[in-house]
Structure 1
Amino acid sequence: MRSVGSLSLACLLCMGFSVHGSAVAEETENLSPSRKIVPLFEEKAEPKEEVAVVLTRGDAMPTDVSVATDPYFEGYVQALVDMHYSEYRVVVLVKNRKVWLANLPKNRLIANSIVSFVKDVPGVKDVYILDGVPLKDEELREKYVKRPQVPGIWFPQMTELFLPLIADPRNATYSLGYRSGDHVIGVKTVNFSLGDDFPIYRWLDVLGHGDLQIGIEAGIWSVFNMDPHPNYGGGTELVNTDFYVAIPITYARDKWSFRLRGYHISGHLGDEYMVNHPHVVRLNPSIEAIDFAASYQATEAVRFYVFPGAYVHSDPTFPWQPMYLQYGTEVRFLGQKFYYYRLYGNFFLAMQWRNLQQLDWNFDGTYRAGYEISKFQGIGRKMRLYIGYHHGYSLEGQFAKERTHYFEFNFNYGF
């Protein structure tokens, strides 16, 4: 009897577990996917092979643009040009995926940069300047004539009419560098500058169909001696800081650009230098001057410039004879477009010489070579890394009449 009872109990337990398991399974099937019971041990699917994807500029273009009508494609290209060259009301016309550009700036370098930018837009078959459109194309001509023209621009920010001079040691940009071998300021020195050009207003298509601009330019240049002797206070020594402010009036047409500039610049000895050299008499190297620069862009790669000037006033404690002349050249080569990063880079060589009446017209030269990178080909703000050599006279405040030479390694940001 005991064995029969045990057998009956075992059968009942098995039936109970079976019924309970069926109920659980049925309940699990009825659960939502997010609440289903996941087995603790489950065979994992074989991982899929990863494939590297290389993006091109065409991948950034909306898919519907590649098959869009000419009016739609025209609006797309117009928006790109307006976004990157907002200072120039360039008119974009499209017919059969061929692009005509109207109202281009008269500055050849900037105009070429816009044409190059549009040529790189995926889907563009060719780019023409509107003046070259056949007269028989009345529809295109009429469409252009009806487009509004803008006489001027307040506070243009993207481009410059007179491009800064790379080899000019007093170029108003942001820079940080190291000098080696300067026996006037210090054998081991660090220099930095803070400067920029602030355009106020630009007139378009004036004075012989060129562009005219007025603005304000300002900057400071400081130099630190990293190993001063003597060194009573310890640490580095601020030797000198130059302060500069100018009102430049610039004009550009075709390959030529000009700058008429009135400016003030003054030098101030650093506190640490005065502590370490108590016997030095502080002078006031302060001048007001005017100069006129002419620049010629011979090709997209080669530029020449010259500018005579005069010191209108100098402080009696540090007088200057009035006349001076500066001139130089810039060469850019091995340009390359980085479509993935939407950047343009090229190598450059830049040289500038100056002759001052006060220094008996002796030669003073600055030579720089490096690499620059920017958003647009040929124009816009750029980052530059370069090495350089200066041979002639110091540029720092009341040391500016002493001979020196040094090597430099600089990082620079600006136009």
Structure 2
Amino acid sequence: MNCSHWIFRAPCSSNTSRASVLLFALLGFASTLTDIRAGEFPPLSTPLPEAVGAVDRYFTQAITDHESLLGVNQVVAHEQVISEQIISERVISDHVLSEHTIETTSGLRTVEPMGWSILPDGLLYKSYLAGPHEPRIGMVIFSDTEEGVYWDATLGGRVGLLRYGSLGSSDPNGWQWDLEGAVMVRLDVMSSEDVDSMDFRFGTLITRADGPWSAKMGYFHISSHVGDEYLERYPLFERVNYVTESLVFGLSYQASDPLRLYGEFAYGVKASGGAKPVQIQTGAEYVPAPLSPQRGGPFAAVNLDIRQVVDFSPTMNLQAGWQWQGPESKRRLRFGLQYLNGYTTQFQFYDQREEQIGGGLWFDY
């Protein structure tokens, strides 16, 4: 059958079924009878060529009107689906206590469930990548330009105990109570990896996150101890009982997707063994989005540690390397190079200057 014939002037594509053609024919026939009664069809006395042209124009217009109606119906159906989707996104289960509205980059507002979580996933305030005293799992092997080769190892972490906020772990918002702890050990590689010293840290934090801003306030304890092997090698060394009990406040701002800026102030309400109360940290981190979670991506970070105990002389720590990050948990596995210039990170030797060049591996919570 020739699809250009005037009776079946419907779209003849591979998607047009025989049922559609038959439907067009029946509708056209019924409409023709109605229009003949209304006098809209050409009279029987009209010459055949003119009658054929008039009928062809009539059915062409009818099919066009029908296709327009189908298009309108599709738009209405599409809007209905979108409306149902928006409504479904706004429906919150009975277990959710409230909702949190977020402004997205597209200008639309989405509703994020808010509620109480025990042992929540993720952190509202991330640890500093280049912070040498942050609770994490990591190790750095470095050469001190004046003394030898050392291995600094950190074993610890920070976890959330209770949260009121986002129920997910990916870039959460709200309030959270955290617990942290770590031991930071220095081994002398050139002396059979003897333990020179170790610093213990534990504390608790209340953290808050809202969009690009996050803050923390809390308490932490630091105490430093010298290794037995070190005392055997240097029997005249006088150990110090370096201890601080500090209140801390920190503020972090995600200036853009890859760039984070932060600052921290801690005050030791109790300090002994040569320690003094004021401790300041500030820094920046640049972590562009990776091409894929499997490939990872680069990172760079700088941290300045400024302490009253060394007359506020800054210690600078630079790191750069490659990192992988969990798409949901946001935990990081990193490896890279490190350069530190300033005072030692081991508080047993707090007044000694060091220049470290080395490499490390870190796991950040």
- Displacement of 1:405 in angstroms is 1.2
1:153 matches 2:98: no
1:356 matches 2:307: yes
> Where do residues 331-410 of structure 1 align in structure 2 (5 Å cutoff)?
331-333=286-288, 335-337=290-292, 343=294, 345-376=296-327, 380-410=330-360
* Counterpart-to-counterpart distance in 2, 1:359 and 1:371: 33
- 8 Å CA contact 2:281–2:305 kept in 1: the answer is yes
Counterpart among 189, 203, 210 of residue 150 in structure 2: 189
* Counterpart-to-counterpart distance in 2, 1:210 and 1:332: 20
Alignment-derived partner of residue 111 in structure 1 = none
- Displacement of 1:147 in angstroms is 2.3
Please give the per-residue CA displacement for 1:204-252, whole angstroms capped at 9, x wherever unaligned.
Answer: 169xx94100021000011111224xxxxxx332100111101011110
- 8 Å CA contact 1:344–1:375 kept in 2: the answer is no
- Displacement of 1:383 in angstroms is 1.1
Please give the per-residue CA displacement for 1:89-136, whole angstroms capped at 9, x wherever unaligned.
Answer: xxxxxxxxxxxxxxxxxxxxxxxxxxxxxxxxxxxxxxxxxxxxx999
- 8 Å CA contact 2:258–2:289 kept in 1: the answer is no
1:139 matches 2:96: no
Alignment-derived partner of residue 217 in structure 2 = 260
Question: How high is the TM-score relative to the length of structure 2?
Answer: 0.68
- 8 Å CA contact 1:257–1:294 kept in 2: the answer is yes
Amino acid aligned to 1:372: Q
Counterpart among 116, 141, 148 of residue 178 in structure 1: 141
- Displacement of 1:290 in angstroms is 1.4
Alignment-derived partner of residue 329 in structure 1 = 284
> Where do residues 223-372 of structure 1 align in structure 2 (5 Å cutoff)?
223-228=186-191, 235-315=192-272, 318-333=273-288, 335-337=290-292, 343=294, 345-372=296-323
> SS of the residue aligned with 2:230?
helix
Alignment-derived partner of residue 112 in structure 2 = none
- Displacement of 1:261 in angstroms is 2.5
Counterpart among 197, 207, 212 of residue 175 in structure 2: 212
* Counterpart-to-counterpart distance in 2, 1:135 and 1:357: 64
Amino acid aligned to 2:137: Y
CA gap of 1:371–1:137, structure 2 versus 1, over 3 A, is closer
> SS of the residue aligned with 2:341?
strand
Number of equivalenced pairs: 264
- 8 Å CA contact 1:305–1:327 kept in 2: the answer is yes
Deviates more, 1:211-220 or 1:397-406: 397-406
* Counterpart-to-counterpart distance in 2, 1:147 and 1:408: 51
Alignment-derived partner of residue 40 in structure 1 = none
* Counterpart-to-counterpart distance in 2, 1:281 and 1:403: 18
* Counterpart-to-counterpart distance in 2, 1:396 and 1:335: 34
Counterpart among 154, 162, 166 of residue 129 in structure 2: 166
- 8 Å CA contact 2:243–2:275 kept in 1: the answer is no
Of all paired residues, the percent bearing the same amino acid is 22
* Counterpart-to-counterpart distance in 1, 2:266 and 2:129: 19
* Counterpart-to-counterpart distance in 1, 2:296 and 2:82: 38
Structure 1 runs of 4+ aligned residues shifted over 6 Å read: none
CA gap of 1:301–1:402, structure 2 versus 1, over 3 A, is same
- 8 Å CA contact 2:244–2:277 kept in 1: the answer is no
- 8 Å CA contact 1:167–1:366 kept in 2: the answer is yes
CA gap of 1:256–1:344, structure 2 versus 1, over 3 A, is farther
> SS of the residue aligned with 1:227?
helix
* Counterpart-to-counterpart distance in 1, 2:289 and 2:89: 37
* Counterpart-to-counterpart distance in 2, 1:313 and 1:152: 34
Amino acid aligned to 1:349: A
* Counterpart-to-counterpart distance in 1, 2:131 and 2:178: 19
> SS of the residue aligned with 1:275?
helix
- 8 Å CA contact 2:254–2:261 kept in 1: the answer is yes
* Counterpart-to-counterpart distance in 1, 2:91 and 2:258: 36
Question: How high is the TM-score relative to the length of structure 1?
Answer: 0.60
Alignment-derived partner of residue 93 in structure 1 = none
- Displacement of 1:282 in angstroms is 1.8
* Counterpart-to-counterpart distance in 2, 1:247 and 1:331: 27
- 8 Å CA contact 2:252–2:260 kept in 1: the answer is yes
Please give the per-residue CA displacement for 1:290-332, whole angstroms capped at 9, x wherever unaligned.
Answer: 11111100111111001112111112xx233322321000012
Amino acid aligned to 2:225: H
CA gap of 1:141–1:255, structure 2 versus 1, over 3 A, is same
Q: What is the alpha-carbon root mean square deviation over aligned residues?
A: 2.3
- 8 Å CA contact 1:368–1:388 kept in 2: the answer is yes
